[in-house]
Amino acid sequence: MGTPDGVALEIARLRREIERHEHLYYVLDRPTISDAEYDTLIRRLKELEAERPDLVTPDSPSQRVGGQPREGFVRVRHTSPMLSLDNAFNAEELADFDRRVRELTGLPQVEYVAELKLDGLSLALHYSEGRLTRAITRGDGQIGEDVTENARTIRSAPLKLAREIPGGIVEARGEVLLTRAELARINRERAAQEQPQFANPRNAAAGSLRVLDPRITASRRLEFFAYQLVVDGRPGATHHWEALDTLGAAGFKVNPHRQRCADLEAVGAFLRAWEAQRHELPYETDGVVVKVNDFALQQRLGWTAKAPRWAIAFKYAAQQASTTVLDIEVQVGRTGVLTPVAVLAPVPVGGVTVSRATLHNEDEIGRLGLEIGDQVLIERSGDVIPKVVRVEAPGEDRRPFVMPSTCPVCGTQVVREPEEVAWRCVNTDCPARLKESVLHFASRRVMNIDGLGEVLVNQLVDRGLVKSVSDLYGLKKEQLLELDRLAEKSAAKLLRNIDASRAAPLGRVINGLGIPFVGERTAAILAGHFGSLARIASASAAELEQAEEVGPRIAEAIGGFFAEPRNRALVERLRQAGLQLEQEITRPPGGPLEGQTFVLTGTLPTLSREEATAQIEAAGGKVTSAVSKKTSYVVAGADSGSKLAKAEALGVPVIGEDELQGLLGAG
């Protein structure tokens, strides 16, 4: 390659060419070169960029690969709320919507845009000066999670706009989804690794985008369809239809199945046309979104707290079918909860054969009036595990289901706490519970022991090789080789993975213990706050509650867990196995005063009350009005009154402005 300028020119040319082919392939579904030719272009670009790292820019097509995993997501406020939509479940509710729109606008007829309702999760992509700068999930609508690194790996999300859209922050909001084929591929892969299946494309899309490791996102072919243009927090056009065209011209994938509808009747025709056809689409749709086309009218109609008045989601009826309940089985989960499950005569529902449906608990069976042998209506609402909606006809030889009084797996007496709906097996050694505990311990987000799936765990527990999760660390290759379906190579690999899990950070170990109410997030918080498992185990309820997000219920569960000698023994065995039971105490991300509570009283020498509050909050602290034992400091100025006396009575430290400044500066 000639002069450095020559390299720069070739890199620029390659990028343009790759971008053009990506657009043809991922957005327009009209590739003009083969995958192999595309790969050659990418490889060449990467080679040149390796030669000249100074020329690598974040918007280069080579940079979609997905960087390093992160510890957590940063929460970001949306430029304007990302609201949800109200639903209409039938023609009448849709007509009500149209009537309201016409009444509120005073117009005899309003033009709508009808689009498919895509079944994924919504995402806002921000562009500054034409470059992708940020990707934020919907979150609670006000604040979402920054998933930029992950979103960069979505090929139909342009890193660079193909055409300029004037404005400061140009935002394309839309839906991230997976095709049915891609979902099937991912599930096949997961089955091979003995990982649980994703129940539907929406869960799979969420599980692929909201992961800390962008390489996982990159390995799944997610798609992004844009359906809303927001420029500096406002609509980026005069009409929605135009906004969609603008998005398309800027390089986004915009769903082609959309229509301008002069009135409600035209909307109805669109709905009916797609009701049957939607099953032929490569991705799932659960309805049609109807939006007022004219943004001036949208503005006039406004919003309720939850949803815009200018749009509605028409939902197709959930997919239901009739079948017979052949039996009711009882499953035992990790915490010992017994869940009744209906075993059904297999029946196709929306293209999937269903043979089991959850019945949640004993009360639910009573509520349904269900007995074994009954004919029932079941429903798959795109969502999770199918459920029984109602009994359609009692079976001729129906017989009532009786919750077993002993655990179906280990035979121990089951109990039901007065305030709980669930029956529980109280035997902590119950093989069913043990199996679930080991699976939880080994799962990806916990100790991440790849290769330790259900089939293997069943064998390990049934043969008595694993009586506790700590036994995993004593497994020998010869023992593994005696198991069915485990060859030399996979046994060695499994042992390596078990060994590697010893390095998992403390938060994961805590999560792995399976303390009630202590999941991934709380476990990480506890690890950072206390810095060692021993300290958590010996902490009082009051000390536990000092940790962020830990309230009385969680504190009690933790206390109860470590009060059990068997659990303390488990911790000791894990220590001997070489797991990380210590870590550095982290300062939570909020700032030097995170977790501390202040009460202000009197007049401070230089800071106003508002300024002091703002500075404390900016440093992660909290300001409250009443002094209690939980108050970290009372900041007192001139003419302090009763709060000062109360602080002294409770032994809460009293500081002045100078000391406050000291704390604020101690970042």
**C-alpha distances out from residue 474 to 439, 482, 501, 578, Å:** 17, 15, 13, 11
Tell me: does residue 226 bind ligand IVH (CB under 6 A). no
Sole window of 306-314, 406-414, 429-437, 611-619 interacting with ligand IVH (rule: CB under 6 A): 306-314
Tell me: does residue 313 bind ligand IVH (CB under 6 A). yes
Write the binding mask 87 to 116 for ligand IVH: x where contact by CB under 6 A, - elsewhere.
Answer: ----------------------------x-
Measured from the CB atom, the residue of 84 and 322 that comes closer to ligand IVH is 84
In angstroms, the CA 634 to CA 659 distance is 11
Of the residues 60, 105, 122, 246, which one makes contact with ligand IVH according to CB under 6 A? 122
In angstroms, the CA 208 to CA 82 distance is 21
493 is catalytic: no
In angstroms, the CA 139 to CA 16 distance is 34
Of the residues 117, 202, 529, 622, which one makes contact with ligand IVH according to CB under 6 A? 117
Q: Pick out residues in 259-298 that bind ligand IVH (CB under 6 A).
A: 289
In angstroms, the CA 400 to CA 392 distance is 16
Measured from the CB atom, the residue of 228 and 470 that comes closer to ligand IVH is 228
Tell me: does residue 150 bind ligand IVH (CB under 6 A). no
3-state DSSP assignment of residue 400:
coil
Torsion sign, CA atoms 580, 583, 588, 593: positive
Say if residues 206 and 121 touch (Cβ distance below 8 Å). Answer: yes
Q: Pick out residues in 12-41 that bind ligand IVH (CB under 6 A).
A: none
Q: Which of 56, 96, 117 is nearest to 278 (CA)?
A: 117
DSSP annotation of 198: P
What secondary structure does DSSP assign to 390-443, as a single string?
A: EEEE--TT-B-----SB-TTT-PBEE--TT-S--EE--TT-HHHHHHHHHHHHS
Write the binding mask 46 to 85 for ligand IVH: x where contact by CB under 6 A, - elsewhere.
Answer: -------------------------------------xxx
3-state DSSP assignment of residue 83:
coil
For 413, the token pair is 């007496």
Write the binding mask 156 to 175 for ligand IVH: x where contact by CB under 6 A, - elsewhere.
Answer: -------------------x
The catalytically annotated residue of 117, 291, 387, 643 is: 117
Tell me: does residue 308 bind ligand IVH (CB under 6 A). yes
Tell me: does residue 193 bind ligand IVH (CB under 6 A). no
In angstroms, the CA 593 to CA 665 distance is 10
Sole window of 22-30, 93-101, 305-313, 645-653 interacting with ligand IVH (rule: CB under 6 A): 305-313
Residue partners of 185: CB distance under 8 A and separation at least 6: none
Of the residues 62, 137, 148, 228, which one makes contact with ligand IVH according to CB under 6 A? 228
For 236, the token pair is 């980026």
Chain center to CA of 591 = 26
3-state DSSP assignment of residue 512:
helix
For 354, the token pair is 């269903």
Q: CB of residue 118 vs ligand IVH: minimum separation in angstroms?
A: 4
Sole window of 196-204, 308-316, 489-497, 615-623 interacting with ligand IVH (rule: CB under 6 A): 308-316
Measured from the CB atom, the residue of 150 and 323 that comes closer to ligand IVH is 150
Nearest residue relative to ligand IVH (C-beta): 122
Q: Which residues are catalytic?
A: 117
Residues that bind ligand IVH (CB under 6 A): 83-85, 115, 117-118, 122, 138, 175, 227-228, 289, 308, 311, 313
